[in-house]
Structure formats: C-alpha cells, structure tokens
Structure 1
C-alpha cells in the first residue's frame, strides 16, 4: 500500500470516500511521521495527537453515514498565528507564553466545519515577522530540502516556514498560512510547494494574530495546485466579525484547475528584472513564459513603474501597523509577565523580555514613522506610494491583461544562520522584493514550483491576478505545474 502520507488531499479524499482507508488510519500515519521527524525539522511547536484522533474518529462516523464534508478526515497543520480553542496559540513569541484562547479563528472553524483534522500548531517567524523562520522563539525550522552533496541546513523561508516545511516533508496533508508581504508565496517557492495569497478580504482575519491589518491575509500551502484550490474553498468566507472580509460568493476553485488558458493575456512586468538577479531565476522565468505560450496564452510586456518603491514603502506601512497592533501585549491579562517596580516598569520589563530582536526592530521603526514630525515625511508618503502601486496594476488589468508572471523569490533557499543575512536586515528584507507589491495592492498571488536550482533546491514562479480572480491563477498555475512536474525532497531526517 502507498505510504498514506504521500497522498495529496484530493487523493486522500477519494480514498476516504471510497472507504479504502479510514480517517483514523490516515491520521495515525501523520502522527507517526511527526513523531519521527519533528525533533529534526522543528516544524511543529505543539502537536495535538489526542485531539486529532478524536476528530478523525468523528470523521469516520460522518463518512459512514454519507455526511462527509469537503475536507472530511484530512489531517492539516495550523500556523501558530491562528487561534485554536484550548490549544497553544503564541505566534511563536515568548510574550504569549502559555496562551490558549477560548475561541476559534474563523478560518480554522471553517476547516473543522468541513471535517478537517487538526494535527497541531506549526512553527513560524515571531508574529509573522521574518523571511526565513529564524525569528521564532522556538528556534528555526529546517527546510526538508538540501543542496546536492551537502548536509548544510537550509531555511524554509518565512514567515510560514513551518507550514511549508511540514507540507514538503509530508508531516501534514496541507497547512494554513498567512501572507503580509510574501509569507505564503516565498516559503512555498523555497520548499517546492504551492502557496496562494488570496485577494485581501477573501478570508476572514478574525481570530488570527494581527501583524499589519491592511496587509495580512490567510491562505493555504499545499502539495499541488488542486490541493491549494480545495483548501482555499473551505478557508474563504464572509465574516461579520471582520469588517474587511468581502461578501462575495466563494467559487468552486477546484473546477478551474486544468482549465484551458488559451487566449489569456499574461503580462510580464519589466520592472521585475532587478539588478544582480541570478541567471537561473531569469532562465526559470523565460521557461515559464514558454510553457504558457505553448498552452495558448499570449505573452505581453507590461510596465509597473512604481514597483521599485514597493519594498521601502512596505517596510514603513507594515512596521507602523505592527507597532499599533503589538501595543496590546503588556503582561496584564495574558501571556508573559515580568516583575517590575510599578505597572509602567512591569510593561517595559515584559515587552523587553517577551519580544525578540526582529519584532523589537519593527516596533521601533513603526513607532518612529508614526511619531510627530515624521508621520507626513514617512507614513503618509508611503501610503501615497501604495496608492500609485495599486493604480499601476489597475492600469495593466484595464488594458486586458488577465494575470502577471514573475519570479517568486530572488534566489533559492539559503543556509540557516547565514552570516550575510544575519549581519544586514535589509538583505533579508530583499527576499520579499517580488512579493510585497501584491499585498500593497491587495491582489491575489500564487507561487508554484517551476524547477530546481543548480544546487538541486526548489525554485518557484509567481502569478498575480485581478482582484477576486483566484480561478485564473489556479488555471494558469496548473499549466506550469503540469509542465514542470512536482518536487519532493529526498528524505534525510
């Protein structure tokens, strides 16, 4: 029998409905895989085997009655940013020590309503601030991929590094993730998985720990395009508890997988050819263009002139919103509390001890750009640039472009504790250079595996769509996936 953890969500769903395998058997296979691998890969910060077994048992009962939901019996990992009732939810930060919410995030509640099984909470960069999963209080996640002939531990990308690594290593069938500036698409590209950031407002943010509220959006990381479509259908919904969620019918995304792209106009933005971009990234991009052209799409050169301002504008807007959102963590009601001479000293000691270095850096940047005398010069100007970035996309789509094709990352996965990255935060921030524009404009974007680097590690391409047109992204991404094939790391853990 095939290793049960090797099944995609679609394959597992069909086997479960046919009663070839039970949800309990599938769940046990994943629990066993996590037990064997997690000490090495560090993907999970909390494993919930008993809860998973109970949920799987309930799924088996519903399947027996013919009442299976869309994700019935499918074992998933949940990023530690999503509130899960009675279960560890700390955004991988020391400041939220021992926090177990009494409520469930809307996204995870939607998944459980469709019959999914929770395996546990996945590692991530602290408060989703990072591009390598090295800022987590629980230590870095190791990418299950390694370079040819090397034992060097590589980063899985961030902030959803635990989600991407767990999916790539077959430690869950799929995973929830969030994307504020690339935190779904960048780790998906570095681990050979598929990750989609849907349109802002497509998934509820309620019950998800906030980083930058105007940029954050939940989405899935999965093994292939079909699985990502299946998961997004369950995750997406309107939600009266989130005023930014949009009241639009959620389409059957899976139906668009494999749809013809003949006649689609795919834009290639010239501004994404950045200085110093490795030749293999350019070659990958050209290969993606050729695949789409062969499938009948028309390739059009386009311009997004304000792209070069996106990264600096993002690193003003996002920290500003973070400094506001993270003000609530003070040691008074929940989480870590450090002793102090008085309440102010207690606040200061708690925040100094509880937040990691990167989170402190971004809070300080955010507080600075919002302060009197600097608000107009930085924050207000960044918001004006954001409007121009959004307008660039609107102009391109108004000209009849259906989607844009770009690289997903400027390079393949780099080493954990890479001295170059550690010594210069800006070099780390540059990992988001191809992804932040999508968040600034509130658009959907998908990362799909497209090849391997010269060192044998995954590389991905990104497709950017019109607002609420995720269906075109799934159709186009499936063309690339069919041409490129799927990628699985050689097991060494």
Structure 2
C-alpha cells in the first residue's frame, strides 16, 4: 500500500490522512520518489523537495490537532506560471531566467493556507502560448501515454502540459493549471485526467504571470471529478488585489456531487460538428450524449451560430492582450538582459533582450498583437474581434436563458499527437487544436474535460461539458454523472 500512495485521489488521501493510515510525510516521499524516477517526462522543472518535506511535517502536526482542511497534507504540483515565493517562476521562458519572486500568487497562497504540500513547479508552453508544450525553454513535456505498439513520444497538450503529465503519471495527486483558450481542458483530454476551467473571475489571477488578461483563468487538474470539486473549493474566492475577481460566496462544490441529472437539459451544439471530425471523436460524443440521456437528462439540439468566428476572434484578442502584457519584459527590472555593445542605447537593449529572451511562438504572437492594435488596423481587427466576442457570449446567454443547464461537446479534435508532428511551417494547424475550447474563454464560462474513452491506438479521449456562469457545482455534478457512466479507469503503462 505504501508504495502506491502517490496513486491516490485527493479524496482517498484526505480520508487516509484523517484516519492515520499514513502520514503526509509518507505520502510526500512517495511522490518525491516518483518524480525522481520520471525525468524522462520533463514534467517537473523546478523540484522543491525541502519545501515539500517541511510543509508535510507542518501538515502532519495540523492533522494531529484535528482541525485540518481538505487539502491539508496533500502533495500537488504548481504550473510554472504561478509566482511562488522564493522559488523560480519563469513561465517556461528564457526572458525570466533567474526570476525568483518575493511574493506568492493568491491561488497558491490559498492552497498553502489549506495545508497543501508543494512538490515543485511544472513544465508548460512559454508564457502559456501553445497547444503542445513544445514552446517551453525547458524542452517539451512528454505524455506518459503511448500509442499501442509505438515508442513515439506524444504531446501531453498545452499549455499546462507538465501539469497534465504529472497527474497522469502519478507524480502528484493534483496540479494547478491555467486556461486561456483550452490550456487546462486540452491537456486533460490528451492524458486521461480531469481538467476544470472555472468561470472567469472565480479564481484570482493575482500573482499569475499574465498571457491574455481577459481570458486567463486558473483551475484544477485532477484524477477525477470529485478531486476537481475539492481543489476548486480551495483555489476559488474573492481577492481584492484582482479587479476582475468576483465577490460571491464559494459553495461546497463536493456536496453538489449527487450524480443525479434527471430533468437537466443538456445542449448539443450543431456548430461543433466540424468538417473532418474524426469518426472516433464523433462516436465518443454520441456515446456521451447517450450516457447522459440514460441517466435521465433531456438532450436538446442547440445552435451557437457564431462559433465559426471564435478561433479567428481568439487569435486576434489573445495576441493583442499578450503584446500589451509582455511589454514589461524589457531587460530593465527583472529576468534576462542581453549583453550590449559599446554605443548601444536603451532601444538596442530592449530589442536584443527580447530577441534572445522570447521564443519563436511568443515573438509571433507579440507581433500579431502589436499589428492588430496599431492605429491603422485597430478597427479592422481588434474592434471587430471584440464585437464577435460579444456575439459569441450572447449565443451562450440565449441558450442558457432558454433553459439549457449544460452543453456537451468534444474536448479536442483528436487524441494526443506526436511531438514534432504539428510543428511545421503552418502555425494555424496547431491553433486548430483549440477549436472546441476557445469559445468558453471568450464567453467567460466554466467548462470541464472528463476522460470518456480511448481511440483505436489506446489513447485517451475527453468530452467537454460547458456550464452556466458561476454554476460550477451543477457543472461538476453533470460531469460526475458522465464520469460514472463512462467508467474510464485506464492508466498509461510505465515506460519512463
């Protein structure tokens, strides 16, 4: 039993810690051992064993006193986008090399306050820009899953690829992720875990390195839906330091998990039946629909007419906000500064620092963003994209106003692809991975990816449920019903 502690769910670990079956110190050692044996996955990029052991000892003392929170003593991984006091936080970018914040992000501070144990920082795409974790300065994280009979390394998805790989490979019991256009849900689907993107404003963005401020949202990446409910409860809450944080109570999300969806109306959007959708994805979607129908939900066909404009709008708005947010990386205040030649002025310092510090994908998006915000093109691109975004949000509002409780769609257009298979000269091929997920960020809605089946090569596939704003409880309950019906329990075979 002690050898397998790192395989536990949060809920099982919580129960075992309470009834003294094992200690947080033992649980933490099991995870640290698994991490040390999994360097081939490149999931953890800054290991913090000393911090983890100290926090585990504190958690054990707290549990002994009998007043411990749900996450007390539970070892988790933190995406490298979250600032962690005294621990390198560099958003997988060379430009933040050597940056060690003297403060803690609100979300990680809340997790720490609950007694969660930090095992280290997790790999990701540079500044969260990417769908495959291949833009990371640390090198790509690797999916613990393999195609049947193949040794081809696969992507764990992006940008929260390290978080997904770590949870799927049992290196930690759960991990934080962030989702700007699908960066929690797509990697969750690719690795057979659960990933929840909360409503915009549910979790504080303070201390999370910004990509696109009107789209970014932190959320949990866990083994199952119950764990996602527990962890969201610890991460969520109002933060006066984040002006977009919403001041509403955080309900007991775990208590919402009855599995009863009788009478709930689940919408199936016609516009998500995209051209060229693989048969396996279409079949999985049909099976998920049948599972919810058999559980007593009412299935209704719905229309979200502006869906086809979501990707173009997203790839105008997100780079525009990124170009604004990334202007602070200039070699002056923190992070990398390029070596300068005699006679170089401040302009040359900015140019050389950014050329050396930013990777190709970040440079591409900054340039796209600067272009769409420039005087001659602002109305043609950025303003038009904002109007499209409003229409996409209205589509969802209309559907929910008509009595739909949640919307069921595929999470991704395919299973995990091989590392390098998409990184050809056409970046649009990679961007198309976000086709089912970006609408949710544009509309600020909560959504969850649940593993629901496998493709012909044995790789996991996920289904996405989209909920009403700030109704994560009912959304998690619908996901819980789907999870129980799908019965997905497969794990990757250990090759690393």
TM-score, length basis structure 2: 0.98
User: By how many angstroms is 1:235 displaced?
Assistant: 0.1
Query: 2:154 corresponds to which residue?
Result: 154
Query: 2:86 corresponds to which residue?
Result: 86
User: By how many angstroms is 1:421 displaced?
Assistant: 3.8
Correspondence list, 1:263-278, <5 A:
263-278=263-278
Aligned mates of 2:286, 2:466 — CA distance in 1:
16
Deviation larger for 257-266 or 157-166:
257-266
Query: 2:475 corresponds to which residue?
Result: 473
Query: 2:373 corresponds to which residue?
Result: 370
Aligned mates of 1:416, 1:317 — CA distance in 2:
27
2:396 pairs with 1:393: yes
Query: 1:30 corresponds to which residue?
Result: 31
User: By how many angstroms is 1:487 displaced?
Assistant: 2.6
2:350 pairs with 1:347: yes
Q: Deviations for 1:8-45, whole angstroms, at most 9, x for unmatched residues?
A: 110000000101100000000100100011x2000011
Correspondence list, 1:223-242, <5 A:
223-242=223-242
Deviation larger for 117-126 or 61-70:
61-70
Aligned mates of 1:422, 1:113 — CA distance in 2:
44
Query: 1:245 corresponds to which residue?
Result: 245
SS of the residue corresponding to residue 81 of structure 1 reads: coil
Aligned mates of 1:145, 1:121 — CA distance in 2:
21
Unaligned residue ranges in structure 1 (runs of 5+):
none
Aligned mates of 1:74, 1:329 — CA distance in 2:
35
> RMSD value over aligned CA atoms?
0.7
Match of 1:360 among 348, 360, 363: 363
2:14 pairs with 1:6: no
Query: 2:328 corresponds to which residue?
Result: 328
TM-score, length basis structure 1: 0.99
Query: 1:203 corresponds to which residue?
Result: 203
CA contact (8 A) 1:449 1:487 kept: no
Query: 2:311 corresponds to which residue?
Result: 311
Match of 2:448 among 433, 446, 449: 446
User: By how many angstroms is 1:258 displaced?
Assistant: 3.2
User: By how many angstroms is 1:85 displaced?
Assistant: 0.2
SS of the residue corresponding to residue 178 of structure 1 reads: strand
Query: 1:491 corresponds to which residue?
Result: 494
Aligned mates of 2:493, 2:262 — CA distance in 1:
36
User: By how many angstroms is 1:259 displaced?
Assistant: 3.2
Give runs of ≥4 in structure 1 deviating > 6 Å: none
Deviation larger for 479-488 or 198-207:
479-488
2:191 pairs with 1:188: no
Correspondence list, 1:13-52, <5 A:
13-37=14-38, 39-52=39-52
2:123 pairs with 1:123: yes
User: By how many angstroms is 1:257 displaced?
Assistant: 1.8
User: By how many angstroms is 1:480 displaced?
Assistant: 1.4
Aligned mates of 2:67, 2:467 — CA distance in 1:
35
Aligned mates of 2:110, 2:273 — CA distance in 1:
39
Aligned mates of 1:199, 1:64 — CA distance in 2:
35
Aligned mates of 2:16, 2:411 — CA distance in 1:
33
Q: Deviations for 1:381-404, whole angstroms, at most 9, x for unmatched residues?
A: 000000000000000001000000
SS of the residue corresponding to residue 226 of structure 1 reads: helix
Aligned mates of 1:137, 1:421 — CA distance in 2:
16
Deviation larger for 332-341 or 299-308:
332-341
2:283 pairs with 1:283: yes
Correspondence list, 1:252-263, <5 A:
252-263=252-263
Aligned mates of 1:6, 1:186 — CA distance in 2:
22
